[in-house]
């Protein structure tokens, strides 16, 4: 692929797809989006104006490039400069899809995955042209969180990484170049260290779930939005960090499996907002209300941090 990306195909329209479609369109990239489930296509079409409203509220106003929806993978990828894969976090599902995509597009079309942390080297291994594949990891909600990780695998060409980073910048996001293809990349290695400890503390009865969320959101979460961990070390003092880490690090959870609480809810089909019950149960209408309220608050915080509130 040479030149800027102007046309993207988006494959998979679940939690992440609709917001990504809106963000690309607002960034001037025409999108053709597809999913194997008709209900996902319908939902994504309904979500598009809502995500565009959030972009307006962020001050990211302007003309939208066309966003179209189709049940046909062939139609979605036709003429695309880049194919953005957003299907479930499962190597078999993703690699089967890459086979189908490669049969439909020329060798220069970029293929990227929004994988949360499967190494790109593992995903690209069966591709006929693995050099055109990279990781493009968005954060949920993708039309509001302005950072995207860019990851290369063993076979990724430098030109592919340059093109993906250029696309991220062109649509107004901050590209974070992850230099090694480690599982979980950077964002999810940090997030899952937090999640593991949070679940362990709740499971051990140290704190109620709601109180833990208050502690993290109004304590470290609020602070980290302004002062990242490396800067926070200097703010706290390395002597303090050293003293605390010398007794605390060995106390922290190092469990290797998934917490029993999550396994139990997963086995019962309780997946969170998407099934209206996860760690908590959500009354009718509550999911839409919560999603809207959270978007409003995230937008207000982002505008304050950007100095545009």
Known binding positions for NAD(+): 12-17, 35, 89, 94, 116, 140, 274
Quick one: 147 or 206, whose CB is closer to ligand NAD? 147
**Binding to ligand NAD, residues 10-29 (CB under 6 A):** 11-17
CB of 142 to ligand LMUV7VF2, least distance (A): 8
Residues 67 to 106 in contact with ligand NAD, rule: CB under 6 A = 86-89, 93, 97
Binding partner of residue 234 among ligand LMUV7VF2, ligand NAD, none, CB cut-off 5 to 8 Å per kind? none
- Which of 32, 109, 116, 156 binds ligand NAD (CB under 6 A)? It is 116
Contacts of 177 (CB under 8 A, 6+ apart): 150, 161, 165
Q: Is residue 40 a contact residue for ligand NAD (CB under 6 A)?
A: yes
Residue 176 exposure: Cα atoms within 13 Å on the Cβ side: 14
* Chain positions contacting ligand LMUV7VF2, by CB under 6 A: 116, 139-140, 188
Burial of 45 (0-12, 13-18, 19+ CB in 10 A): middle
Rg of the chain in Å (alpha carbons): 20
DSSP string for residues in 146-196: -EEEEEE-TT--HHHHHHHHHHHHHTT-EEEEESS--TTTTHHHHHHHHHH
Burial group, residue 205, by CB count within 10 angstroms (0-12, 13-18, 19+): exposed
* The entry of ligand LMUV7VF2, ligand NAD, none that residue 188 binds, CB within 5 to 8 Å by partner kind: ligand LMUV7VF2
Residue 42 contacts ligand NAD per CB under 6 A? no
Chain contacts with ligand NAD (rule: CB under 6 A): 11-17, 34-37, 40, 86-89, 93, 97, 114-116, 138, 140
């Amino acid at each position: 692929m040479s030149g800027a990306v102007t046309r993207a195909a988006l494959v998979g329209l679940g939690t992440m797809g609709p917001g990504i479609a809106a963000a690309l369109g607002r960034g001037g990239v025409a999108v053709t989006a597809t999913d194997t489930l008709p209900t996902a296509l319908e939902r994504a079409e309904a979500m598009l104006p809502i995500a565009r409203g959030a972009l307006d509220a962020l001050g990211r106003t302007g003309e939208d490039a066309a966003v179209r929806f189709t049940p046909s993978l062939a139609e979605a990828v036709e003429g695309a400069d880049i194919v953005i894969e957003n299907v479930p976090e499962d190597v078999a599902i993703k690699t089967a899809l890459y086979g189908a995509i490669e049969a439909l597009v020329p060798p220069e079309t970029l293929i990227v995955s929004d994988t949360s942390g499967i190494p790109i080297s593992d995903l690209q291994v069966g591709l006929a042209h693995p050099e055109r594949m990279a990781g493009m990891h968005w954060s949920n909600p993708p039309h509001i969180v302005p950072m995207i990780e860019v990851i290369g695998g063993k076979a990724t060409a430098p030109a592919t990484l340059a093109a993906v980073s250029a696309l991220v910048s062109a649509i107004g996001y901050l590209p974070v170049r992850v230099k090694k293809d480690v599982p979980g990349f950077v964002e999810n290695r940090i997030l899952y260290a937090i999640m593991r400890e949070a679940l362990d503390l709740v499971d051990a009865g140290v704190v109620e779930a709601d109180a833990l969320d208050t502690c993290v959101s109004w304590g470290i979460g609020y602070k980290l939005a302004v002062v990242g961990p490396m800067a926070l070390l200097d703010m706290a003092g390395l002597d303090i960090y050293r003293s605390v880490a010398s007794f605390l690090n060995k106390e922290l959870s190092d469990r290797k499996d998934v917490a029993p609480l999550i396994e139990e809810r997963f086995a019962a089909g309780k997946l969170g907002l998407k099934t209206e019950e996860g760690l908590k149960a959500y009354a009718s209408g509550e999911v839409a209300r919560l999603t809207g309220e959270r978007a409003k608050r995230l937008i207000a915080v982002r505008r304050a941090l950007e100095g545009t509130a």
